[in-house]
């Protein structure tokens, strides 16, 4: 029987770095990546036959758990009709209609294949509609790996960004202003200095890629107001939070309507699907109606659309799922907090709905600089201890955990018990 280590060594011979997305390499926790063979409900099984309670959920999409019956049935039916047409289908319209009817700020949308593609297109649309060049983003928020978003903060709050990755040119980076998350004053200063050149502001309403970081009271409302007052476009990146933190996402939870919304993960039911949408006048700027070009051969793929429709239709028909997710997640959060306190381990837990992060520090965590104060070595020890006890957690301090409706109360209690022991090991 092949081991995970064997599989990784083989993969490294043919796949760059041995993985098709960097965090999968487990480099941040100094371990070998897990190669999975199957998943059902709240559990995943690796190629060595070891079962884990899963808190990654394919990085968020599996809000209903792995291999949900209605999603598998929909995928199978769609695949039998054809895996791709590269042409319109009625199902695309049905999915778009469902989202538009639920979110007042989304009058039209466009389907694509990934969150990166959707964010990149939303930014291009904002620039095209305003005929301005600069975009404001917040440090620690991840909007995909398009060049203009792989940008780190400059030397000060009002300096242009600098490339975060080789291959991103300085000229591209300098079209993005990077500000601290939850800092309204920095945003006001940015618009005071560069307002006529700023096309839009993009923000994760609840950050998930520096760990879960919640917006402070009034932050999102201020971002929306300041951006619009200056004639720019307010973009809310809900790739992670959309239909996860609540039905309708963070914009429904916080009562904020963006000019452009970006979705992914859950709207594809676990298959590659994303979307961006907004006011009809803005979306009319897209080709073939307008001058902003955006396209994709597999956009609206019928199998992915069927998967997403099954997921969203079930969530809409079963609103009690979100109540149950809140109860499960709160139970987990309380148990983890008590476990850390009992072991005298510095820990700050941030949670929004069924997303949470355990930061190994006292907290609070309000931005990227705060998140970076976490003890990553202690997290690596905790991660290894939890893996040993049959739990699959995100292999990085700076990622979100996800609870699914497939998790049982017994799963949660087993995780809390394992965490008590794991905290004691890394005290």
Instruction: Parse the chain into domains and list their residue ranges.
Output: 4-67+319-425, 69-317
Q: How does pLDDT run across 244-297, given as a tens digit for each residue?
A: 999 999 999 999 999 999 999 999 999 999 999 999 999 999 999 999 999 999
In the chain, % helix, strand, coil (3-state, to 5) comes to 45, 15, 40
The reply to whether 69-317 shares the fold of 4-67+319-425 is no
Active site residues: 142, 237, 265
pLDDT confidence band for 155 (50 / 70 / 90): very low
**Closest Cα to residue 393, out of 406, 382, 407?**
382
Instruction: Provide the H-helix boundaries in 184-301.
Output: 184-194, 219-229, 250-254, 280-283
Residue 46: strand pairing partners: 36
What does pTM read for this prediction?
0.96
Domain 4-67+319-425 classification at class level: alpha beta
CB 330 within 8 A of CB 317: no
Question: Which residue from 213, 285, 230, 227 is spatially nearest to 256, judged by alpha carbons?
Answer: 227
Pairing of strands 198-203, 134-138: parallel
pLDDT digits (tens, 9 = 90+) for 110-126: 999 999 999 999 999 99
Of residues 322 and 167, more confidence is placed in 322
* Paired tokens of 222: 């201020």
**69-317 topology per CATH:** 3.40.640
pLDDT at position 161: 61
Task: Say how far residue 418 (Cα) sits from the centre of its chain.
Answer: 26
Residue 220 has pLDDT above 60, yes or no: yes
- Tens of pLDDT along 346-364? 999 999 999 999 999 999 9
Could you report the per-residue pLDDT of 80-113, keeping only the tens digit for each? 999 999 999 999 999 999 999 999 999 999 999 9
What percentage of the chain exceeds 90 in pLDDT? 91
How far is the C-alpha of 242 from the C-alpha of 265, rounded, in Å?
Answer: 8
């Amino acid at each position: 029987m092949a081991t995970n280590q064997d599989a990784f060594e083989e993969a490294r011979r043919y796949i760059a770095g041995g993985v098709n997305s960097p965090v999968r390499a487990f480099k941040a926790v100094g371990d070998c990546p897990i190669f999975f063979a199957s998943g059902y409900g709240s559990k995943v099984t690796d190629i060595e036959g070891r079962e884990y309670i899963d808190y990654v959920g394919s990085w968020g999409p599996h809000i209903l758990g792995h291999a949900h019956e209605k999603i598998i049935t929909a995928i199978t039916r769609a695949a039998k009709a054809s895996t791709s047409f590269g042409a319109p289908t009625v199902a695309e319209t049905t999915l778009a209609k469902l989202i538009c009817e639920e979110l007042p700020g989304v009058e039209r949308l466009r389907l694509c294949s990934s969150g990166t593609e959707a964010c990149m297109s939303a930014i291009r649309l904002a620039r095209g509609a305003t005929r301005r060049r600069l975009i404001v983003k917040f440090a620690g928020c991840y909007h995909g790996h398009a060049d203009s978003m792989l940008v780190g903060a400059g030397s000060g709050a009002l300096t242009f960004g600098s490339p975060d990755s080789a291959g991103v040119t300085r000229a591209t980076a300098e079209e993005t202003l990077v500000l601290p998350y939850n800092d309204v004053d920095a945003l006001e200063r940015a618009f005071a200095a560069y307002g006529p050149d700023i096309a839009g502001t993009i923000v994760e309403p609840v950050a998930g890629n520096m760990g879960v970081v919640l917006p402070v009271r009034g932050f999102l409302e201020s971002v929306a107001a300041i951006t619009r007052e200056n004639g720019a476009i307010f973009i809310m990146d809900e790739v992670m939070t959309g239909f996860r933190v609540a039905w309708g996402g963070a914009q429904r939870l916080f009562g904020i309507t963006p000019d452009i919304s970006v979705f992914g993960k859950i709207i594809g039911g676990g298959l590659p699907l994303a979307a961006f949408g907004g006011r009809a006048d803005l979306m009319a700027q897209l080709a073939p109606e307008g001058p902003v070009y955006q396209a994709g051969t597999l956009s609206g793929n019928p199998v992915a659309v069927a998967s997403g429709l099954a997921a969203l239709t079930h969530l809409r028909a079963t609103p009690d799922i979100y109540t149950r997710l809140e109860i499960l997640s709160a139970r987990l959060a309380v148990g983890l907090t008590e476990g850390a306190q009992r072991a005298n381990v510095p820990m700050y837990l941030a949670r929004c709905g069924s997303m949470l992060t355990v930061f190994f520090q006292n907290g609070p965590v309000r931005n990227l600089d705060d998140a970076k104060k976490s003890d990553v070595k202690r997290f690596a020890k905790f991660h290894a201890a939890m893996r040993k006890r049959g739990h699959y957690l995100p292999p990085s301090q700076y990622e979100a955990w996800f609870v699914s409706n497939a998790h049982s109360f017994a799963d949660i209690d087993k995780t809390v018990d394992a965490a008590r022991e794991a905290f004691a090991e890394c005290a």
